[in-house]
Amino acid sequence: MAKIAVAFLLEKLTSFLQNKVELLQEIPKDLEYIKDELQSLKEISRVSDLVRMSNKEHKVWVQQVREVAYDTDDI
């Protein structure tokens, strides 16, 4: 009976660890994606500063983009 329990536990543990390895392998791709997005947001922010848009909604949007970029960078 113990042999069956150990085999079951080993099977579940193996499956769990394989899943974790797959998730960890995705991290470099995710980080590259985040880096690219932050670079795009940085460029949008820079251009917006140069244009000095007077539209209040645009200014609010730019501020929100900056906040998201900073939060993502912190993460």
On average, the pLDDT of the chain sits at 81
pLDDT band for 72, please (50, 70, 90 cuts): confident
3-class SS letters over the chain: CHHHHHHHHHHHHHHHHHHHHHHHHHHHHHHHHHHHHHHHHHHHHHHHHHHCCCCHHHHHHHHHHHHHHHHHHHC
Contact 45, 66 (CB under 8 A): yes
Model confidence pLDDT, tens digit, residues 28-64? 888 888 888 888 877 877 777 677 656 777 778 778 8
| In the chain, domain spans | 2-74
Name, of 4-13, 52-61, 66-75, the range with top average pLDDT: 4-13
